[in-house]
Amino acid sequence: MHRLCAVTCVLLPLMVAAGGATASSAVVGEETSLLYLSADDWNQQPATRKIALAADFMRVFCTSPTMSPASLADCLDRDRANGALFERAIGCASALAGR
């Protein structure tokens, strides 16, 4: 829980500074981060792009080397909870790390 709070404290200013920018509703490019995707944007991505987005997210926000980007992408595909994709990714990463 402390790690989640620390991550949130670091990310919140970055998210505010980004001004709520979102990706277009097409396949996103290399410069786009999971941070800025909506759930609809995520659902429109091909599996290979989802894994690349998950790997990028994990490189910054996850410390467990045993967690695979494919596991995170799968969790995000299965988790249809309301909320920002970033929040769902944090929840998935926490759940996967606890396994």
Q: What is the pLDDT of residue 26?
A: 64
3-state SS string for 8-34: HHHHHHHHHHCCCCCCCCCCCCCCCCH
pLDDT digits (tens, 9 = 90+) for 22-73: 444 467 766 688 888 888 999 999 999 999 999 999 988 876 777 789 999 9
Q: How many domains does the chain have?
A: 1
Mean pLDDT computed over 4-28: 47
Domain that holds residue 49: 2-97
Q: Which residue has the tokens 């790690």?
A: 3
Contact 53, 34 (CB under 8 A): yes
Q: Rounded to whole angstroms, how far apart are CA atoms 58 and 76?
A: 13
Does position 9 have pLDDT exceeding 90, yes or no? Answer: no
3-state secondary structure of 83: coil
3 confidence band (pLDDT: 50, 70, 90): low
Q: Rounded to whole angstroms, how far apart are CA atoms 1 and 26?
A: 34
Q: Rounded to whole angstroms, how far apart are CA atoms 26 and 81?
A: 22
Query: Per the confidence metrics, is the pTM higher than 0.85?
Result: no
